[in-house]
Structure 1
Amino acid sequence: MTTTDDADTDRILDGITVVDLTTFVTGGFATLMLANQGAEVIKVERPGVGDDNRHSGPPFVEPNAEYDGPGRTADDNGESPYFWTINYDKLSVEFNLKTDSGLEALYDLVAEADVVVENFRPGTAERLDVGYDDLREVNEDIVYCSISAFGETGPWSSRPGYDLLVQGTSGIMSVTGPEDGDPVKVGLPQTDLITGMWAAFGVVGSLFRRELTGEGDRIEIGMHDAALPWLTKQAGKAFVGEQPERMGTKDPVLAPYQALPTADGYLNVGCGNQKLWEELCAAIDRPDLAEDDRFASNPDRVANMDELETELAAVFRERPTEEWVDLLADERGLPVGPVYDVPAALDNEQTEARDVIREIDHPALGTVPVIEHPLNYEHADAGFDGAPPLLGEDTEAILQELGYDDAALTRLREEGAIPDA
């Protein structure tokens, strides 16, 4: 994204090739992060079907009728915008790994690669002859990352898993939602994304180690394991015998630190220390709250959260959200902010100023929006250049780069290893 004028604009992972055997979000987000840092990511997809995430919707977007280039949509409904958000800047090949020649094509690809990422259920990669030991015979220096729901050991290792299930097993749902309500799933695939970030971190660490030692490695990660370190303050309570509970938007160790209703919406108010609390009371013309014994210190406020919420809600309902933001955040420098819906989060003056949302040319759709990743280096570049791929659009080009001539491509089609052109 942002660099200085005289910066070396090489991307950190330029020259790294990643073979992506994953479907859906966990592996897809991991390899997306690697693509953002300059890696060439090649998705290996099932012929005619592709990544399951291509079918996630509605909504879908119809491709341009006049497009007649390589690749195609994987769904009669069109392209899934959800798929875009996890697959910018990748290439797509269709290999049938259940054929000998399709498997051989994958081996040829891996022989030239640096990283392989897979998220099969434990044991499946080995049954498909694409496990770590199989691919080490092809490329002994490969960095191989295996992602599964519960890891490869333990009594749950053979269970299937999705984000929903892991939000449950990790305790996240038990502390999310209204205080007296049912457990609530976080409204985005949080444990998928957490796991993808851990996986990308592990891959980069293994690549660094390979630079030092010359040795490849295998990374094994379970979604359940990946989510647990994110419990932080809730885990801290559990470690001393307390039971973390659902608190709505309130926080277990800070107050006020929550969303409060305004005249036209909601305002997040976060006072991380005593000075900010006292300044907030003065700014809203309620100095009496700072002097109230119930709210004198942060432990007092945490112990009396409900009473504090009642007092503050009565004040903040007097004005609309933006007036409070202008008064408290912009004029007084206090930590308050609006609660936006998703369209507003994607389209506001701050998002625009940081150039987070851009458009990328797409061969079959004209342009598609892209959410940039947040890393801004002083002496390197980052960001997405390419659109999410159509299914299989790079199959022939990549095979030709690997040395397959027209006769070899014809043989692969005849043997069902790749689709007909």
Structure 2
Amino acid sequence: MGTNDDAAEKILDGITVVDLTTFVTGGFATLMLANQGAEVIKVERPELGDDNRHSGPPFVEPNEEYDGPGRTADANGESPYFWTINYDKLSVEFNLKTDSGLEALYDLVEEADVVVENFRPGTAERLGIGYDDLRELNDDLVYCSISAFGETGPWSSRPGYDLLVQGTSGIMSVTGPEGGDPVKVGLPQTDLITAMWAAFGIVGSLFRRELTGDGDRIEIGMHDAALPWLTKQAGKAFVGEETTRMGTKDPVLSPYQAYPTADGYLNVGCANQKLWSELCEAIDRPDLIDDERFASNPDRVANMDELEEELSAVFRERPTEEWVDLLAEDHGLPVGPVYDVATALDNEQTEARDVIREIEHPALGTVPVIEHPLNYEHATAGFDEAPPLLGEDTEAILDGLGYDAEDIDRLREEGAIPDDE
């Protein structure tokens, strides 16, 4: 990503993050920190690693000739899903159920700025790596705990994943076709929501530490994290109105949905009066402007089904690209295509913004990377390194902590780190 300042650095240069998490919530939070320059060290279970390493298929086989440090955790190879959450990180394997593995982690934490964990409440304390344990080693530590339902309340001991929280948060109740079954959003939405709150809280705590010199603990429940995102649906519930599944329709705006075209779908977001009138003129339906059913946005919302019937009949007459050219390009109206994922990742706009790049990977040649969207005027951002192989950096990190070859051999003998392959 570009900058006008030749001396610019990344915002979090010099910050070290110890990532004790698995799967997506903590992993995406620390990915955001890595993108901004933090050194993120994943502490993984020996041999198994992060559960997300096994998320597949698909898997990609490493180059047979690679003989460097680290290895794939899954016999099938590398998971592309794992890549998308772990660019620019380092990986060490510590067995935290051994005394020497725990001591190695303690040595790492003494030099760190941030620790992130997403164990079920109480687990970190049982392992000896809770906030109080680690604060004894590093009193200005920023410590972030993530769990499904938080550490208080009747659900606090429950396990949870994105699917469960999409259900408890109400998201599934307003997602899916009208009159149909509840539908999960087609990506791990509550994992990612929680991750972004965590990264926001960590950066806020680091800023506060700069002002006060004090560390802090951040505690986040996924269920709590999802609720603020209900916005307009919450607004309806607050005044006793029912919230329902509406397909692509919107509860308070119209037209604001997807319409079928001759070869696909077109999203139309012309909900204010000016845009509505301009849309009617552009599609050669000026009669709709004077139709009392559609006179104002509240009228259009009240008569949404009738409006959908009128506009669908028009949009089915041409393919999506023709409508986009006419309405978005020629008339400047907010309409756009509905792309599949492959097309979203590979189109002229994505390419022009340099969002998808390739990064060299020691065992795979190159891997694609999705860049994060922050572009600064006086700082840089972006990923520099491929996601790590399991345990790729164990010896290098230990060496940096002052462990010599004899110490590392002792850790192997005691089961704190894996034997050489």
Q: TM > 0.5 between the two?
A: yes
- CA-CA distance at 1:243 after TM superposition: 1.0
Correspondence 1:202 to 2:201: yes
Q: Distance in 2 between matches of 1:134 and 1:367?
A: 40
**CA distance, structure 2, for counterparts of residue 286 and residue 399 of structure 1:** 71
Shift of 1:8: 3.8
Partner of 1:112: 111
Structure-2 residue corresponding to 1:368: 367
User: 1:420: how far off?
Assistant: 1.1
Q: Which residue of 2 aligns with 1:129?
A: 128
Partner of 2:228: 229
Contact 1:7–1:378 (Cα < 8 Å) also in 2: no
Aligned residues: 420
The one-letter amino acid paired with 1:412 is L
Per-residue deviation, 1:7: 4.8
1:216 aligns with 2:215: yes
Partner in structure 1 of residue 2 of structure 2: 2
Shift of 1:2: 2.5
Letter matched to residue 143 of structure 2: Y
Aligned equivalents of 2:400, 2:90: Cα separation in 1:
13
Provide the residue aligned with 1:46 in structure 2: 45
1:178-193, aligned counterparts within 5 Å? 178-193=177-192
Aligned to 2:18: 19
Cα distance, 1:342 vs structure 2: 0.2
Matched residue, 2:303? 304
Give the 5 Å matches for 1:205-354.
205-354=204-353
Q: Deviations over 1:378-405 (max 9, x none)?
A: 0000000010000000000000000000
In the TM superposition, what whole-angstrom CA distance separates every residue of 1:165-184 from its partner, at most 9, and x where no partner exists? 00000000000000010000
Looking at structure 1, the residues matched to 176 and 3 of structure 2 have their Cα atoms a distance apart, in angstroms, of 40
User: Structure 1 length as normaliser, TM-score?
Assistant: 0.99
What's the offset of the Cα at 1:271?
Answer: 1.3
- What amino acid does structure 1 have at the position aligned with 2:29? A
- 2:148 corresponds in structure 1 to 149
Shift of 1:273: 1.1
CA distance, structure 2, for counterparts of residue 285 and residue 217 of structure 1: 60
Query: Residue 136 of structure 2 aligns to a residue in which SS?
Result: helix
Structure 1 CA distance, aligned partners of 2:371 and 2:2?
11
Q: Which amino acid aligns with 2:66?
A: Y
Q: Once the 2 structures are TM-superposed, how far is the Cα of residue 272 of structure 1 from its aligned partner? A: 3.3
Alignment match, 1:176: 175
In the alignment, residue 287 of structure 1 is paired with which amino acid? Answer: P
Q: Deviations over 1:125-172 (max 9, x none)?
A: 000000000000110110000000000000000000000000000000
- In 2, distance between residues paired with 1:342 and 1:315? 27
- Given the alignment of the two structures, is residue 391 of structure 1 paired with residue 390 of structure 2, yes or no? yes
Aligned with 2:249: secondary structure? Answer: coil
Distance 1:387 1:272 in 2: 43
Q: Note the residue ranges of structure 1 that are not aligned, 5 or more in a row.
A: none
Q: CA RMSD in A?
A: 0.5
CA distance in structure 1 between the partners assigned to 2:74 and 2:96 by the alignment: 21
* Cα deviation, residue 194, structure 1: 0.1
Helix, strand or coil for the counterpart of 1:117?
Answer: strand
Letter in 2 for 1:397: A
CA distance in 2, matches of 1:130, 1:141: 16
- Contact 1:254–1:302 under 8 Å retained in 2: yes
Aligned amino acid, residue 239 of structure 1: F
> Where do 5+ consecutive residues of structure 2 fail to align?
none
Q: Does the 8 A contact of 1:191 with 1:223 survive in 2?
A: yes
Q: Does 1:139 align with 2:162?
A: no
Equivalent AA in structure 2 for residue 228 of structure 1: L
